[in-house]
Structure 1
Amino acid sequence: MLSYKALVQEMMERMIREEREDAPLEFTLPVYRFLQALLRLEESGQSKYADIGRFIEMQITNGTMNQEKGPIPSFYYCPQGKSERLPLYVTSSLVTELSPLILFLKSKTTYRSLFFEEAEAHLHPRVQRILATALVKLVNRGMPVWLTTHSDILFQQVNNLIKLHQHPNRAQLMEKYGYVEEDALEPKKVKAYQFHLQGQETVITPIIPTENGFPAETFNKVILELNDETYAFQIGEEDGEDG
């Protein structure tokens, strides 16, 4: 998002120089498709997911993402309660990371699925939980979501929303913790896979769900090891100065 204008300019220069069609691309095809879609963005209240985009704005970014029309549009962040428009390069990394998701959700651009790599990047743990809830809303709205993550917090939030769906006191829990029906996630709508490094190869295995959701073996192992060290390294009364 910080360099899309330079990337578009490079693409245009390649066309002007009439480089061969088989010339090696410097970016992958999804990057070019993303840029094409970004240039065609058209905000519309008719978007099926616009309210989820506004949910992210209200609950996470505390401001709105807007665009200025032109051959190459410009995108701005407007802090809540302020009239100024800030270019993305002076905003926080949180805003920059989530800006394309918000813009596409508020746009009537058609797309069939969402691929989100390392969704937790630059996000506070509290924000990761809210983002996970927004992604569940998309799934329940019919949007296929592919997500990669190293965040045990984001992963556990998905598990919590699965447990919420199955809980006999779901209505009371939703009211107590501020959830709505669209936030509860049916287990059959989710699949999870674990990536293990074995020697020089990466092995992908499905995670079998339990009544508590999907157990994240590698996450849990590291957390337990960290807890063990934390308690072991604490200095108690029994520890002398020379202990």
Structure 2
Amino acid sequence: SNVTVNVFILDQNDNVPVILYPVSTNGSAEGVEEISRNANAGHLVTKIRAYDADIGYNGWLLFSLQEVSDHSLFGLDRYTGQIRTLRSFTETDEAQHKLLILVKDNGNVSLSATATVIVKVVEPKEAFAASDEKNAVKDEEESNVTYYLIITLGSVSVLFVISIIVLIVMQCSKSTDYSSKYLQDTNYDGTLCHSIQYRSGDKRYIIGSTIVPGSNGNTLVIPDRRRRESGE
């Protein structure tokens, strides 16, 4: 008799969530974010990124704020990990805020990891200066790429011109083999036949004329083949 046994492999929640951002250093994930004081409500401060090697429900991650200096100022999306401002800043708000985020999976026995975000509130001028510095670095990188591209195109153009010049010189340096041969023959009717052969490369050209004795040398006589054939 035959017996069918179905084996179901269940995932065990044995992997701790890993924080991708902020980047972990010395075993702790901590990042610093700067935000302008004139930022409006709903402004995206940063996003916590994490993953879990478990599959199914055990790999689902939830985010929560464990510690925050001002609960009325920052909010955290439970499913996406986005941190946003809940209101605008005032003059009485502190210049630095510390947020502790807990990331846990959805296993029966939840495993978790934490990340720390330091939010620095800067004046608009300082925020613009930081933005200008980042843009300057980006522009410098783009200018370097453009410089190398120009050098590459110039080199290709020079090589192309040199190739054309070499081809022209090779064509001009080819020796043209011209040879001529003067042939003299006498036809059956007593006329004198002159022909000149020209050779150019593999081609051969023959130019011939018939001169009647006693006539001008510039007179060209075409033999009458019909009379010759009737005489035969």
Q: Whose helix proportion is higher, 1 or 2? A: 1
Q: Whose strand proportion is higher, 1 or 2? A: 2
TM exceeding 0.5 = no
Give the structure, 1 or 2, with the largest relative contact order (CA under 8 Å, sep 6 or more). Answer: 2
**TM-score bracket for the superposition, by shorter chain length:** under 0.3
Q: TM-score, normalised by structure 1?
A: 0.22
Which structure has the bigger radius of gyration?
2
